[in-house]
Amino acid sequence: MSRSNENRLQAWAVDEHAFARTATAIEKLSFCLQYAILAPSTHNTQPWRFVISDDMLLLCADRTRALPVSDTYDRELTISCGAALFNLRVALSHFGCPYLIRVMPAVAEPDVLASLQISDEGFVDADIATLFPSMAKRVTNRRIFDAAPVPQSAIALLREAAEGEGAQFAAIADEAERSHVADLVDQADRVQLGDPRFRRELASWVSATRRDDGMASYSASAGGLLDFASPIISSVVRTFDIGGGVAASHRRLVEGSPLLICLATATDDAESWLLVGQAMQRVLLTLTANGLHASFLNQPIEVESLRCAVGAMTGTGDFPQLLLRVGHGPEQPHTPRRPVESVTT
């Protein structure tokens, strides 16, 4: 690995032993933010900002990193921020720092999604603290998974993780049902990649000029469908409708994944999105702890005309928020992260 790549991935090598239990609240919060930024986000946009003052931290949406075409209402942006919040909860619980959380604490400030305060009157969650080692191991794996089924015992743990955060959970292992989901993913790919606005937005996040964010590569098959990091491919995505090829590759991914998971909520607002983001991250860390990999198949949820079909198919008829594929796959590298200093005030 080149020195530049090593620097880009340095965020994943946090030394937990550097945590000082006698440190101030600000120092503890700042240290734990190194784990918060390891959360996943759509196109690796990392759409979060943190404001720290005394013993208080504000989690804010960074809407300059929004995806107005594929995520018109900032639903996935908020979900990503929820995942970062969950990582922060895990880290604080691991280090024995009690905390209090308020969701959407300021009606007049919609960008402030949550406030977190270190307080002796707060809570340490011993259950999620056990997930601490998984934060630096979790990776989004877009490669083909083994055909071996996911054990029912593991599925039960994933369900417990999702429902423990208040989300609805549906597991899809039946081959015919997975084929139906593949149809929906296929349709969504063709809709999205047939839209030149979507292709321009995607191309901007797979540009070879990005270093600390975005997607370094896109691998939708064992051999890799496209290297979106190359300037040539970025130009192709921006200019041409490649939906047919991508759709076919994603169909193979879905049909070859032994387990699909849908997370849903009873309502569809910012508070629900923040909730399901925490549920998503708890599921991802739980499956990582059990030797499993996952990646996202959110296309049919992003296409509004197909979202209801996802809910009907999975039984999460309220508001499906996320679609994951789960299985055993080959090791994958991490995606880069922006330095903590660049996202903290």
**Tens of pLDDT, residues 131-155:** 999 999 999 998 889 999 999 999 9
Pairing of strands 99-103, 168-172: unpaired
Indicate whether 123 and 257 sit together in one domain: no
In the chain, alpha helices (H): 3-8, 25-36, 75-94, 126-129, 152-164, 175-193, 196-205, 231-239, 243-255, 270-289, 299-302, 304-314
Q: Has residue 342 been placed in a domain?
A: no
- What type of residue is 52? I
| 138, 162, 187 - which closes a domain | 138
Please write the tens of the pLDDT for every residue from 167-203: 999 999 999 999 999 999 999 999 999 999 999 999 9
Indicate whether 18 and 114 sit together in one domain: yes
Indicate whether 121 and 264 sit together in one domain: no
Q: Which two tokens stand for residue 122?
A: 């707060």
Indicate whether 63 and 187 sit together in one domain: no
Question: What is the structure's pLDDT at 5?
Answer: 54
Please write the tens of the pLDDT for every residue from 103-120: 999 888 999 999 999 999
CA distance 300 to 254: 12
Residue numbers of the domain that contains 295: 152-327
Q: What percent of the chain has pLDDT over 90?
A: 79
Average pLDDT, the chain: 89
Provide the number of structural domains found in the chain. Answer: 2
Indicate whether 185 and 78 sit together in one domain: no
Question: What is the structure's pLDDT at 6?
Answer: 59
Indicate whether 174 and 323 sit together in one domain: yes
Enumerate residues 6+ apart whose C-beta is below 8 A from 142. Answer: 218, 219, 220, 253, 295, 332
Sheet with 259-265, edge to edge strand ranges:
168-172, 259-265, 319-327, 293-296
Please write the tens of the pLDDT for every residue from 79-104: 999 999 999 999 999 999 999 999 99
Q: Has residue 323 been placed in a domain?
A: yes
Q: Which two tokens stand for residue 131?
A: 């997930």
Cα separation values, 17 from 13, 35, 91, 93, 172, Å: 12, 13, 12, 15, 40
- What's the CATH number where 122 sits? 3.40.109.10
Give the lowest-confidence range in 6-10, 144-148, 193-197, 210-214.
6-10
Indicate whether 114 and 158 sit together in one domain: no
Q: What is the mean pLDDT of residues 224-236?
A: 41
Ramachandran class of 236: left when φ > 0, alpha when ψ lies in -120 to 50, beta otherwise:
alpha
Determine whether 336 is exposed, middle or buried from the number of CB atoms within 10 Å of its CB (0-12, 13-18, 19+). buried
Please write the tens of the pLDDT for every residue from 274-333: 999 999 999 999 999 999 999 999 999 999 999 999 999 888 878 999 999 999 999 999
Indicate whether 163 and 275 sit together in one domain: yes
Q: Has residue 1 been placed in a domain?
A: no
Question: What is the structure's pLDDT at 252?
Answer: 74
Question: What is the structure's pLDDT at 249?
Answer: 61
| 106, 138, 170 - which closes a domain | 138
Please write the tens of the pLDDT for every residue from 238-273: 444 444 545 556 677 777 799 999 999 999 999 999
Name 169's bridge partners.
263
pTM for the model: 0.91
Q: Which helix (H) or strand (E) holds 92?
A: helix 75-94
CA distance 322 to 283: 12
Secondary structure class of 249 (helix, strand, coil): helix
Sign for the CA dihedral angle at 272, 166, 288, 145 comes to negative
CA distance 222 to 145: 9
Indicate whether 216 and 275 sit together in one domain: yes
pLDDT at 229 over 90: no
| 138, 172, 200 - which closes a domain | 138
CA distance 90 to 23: 18
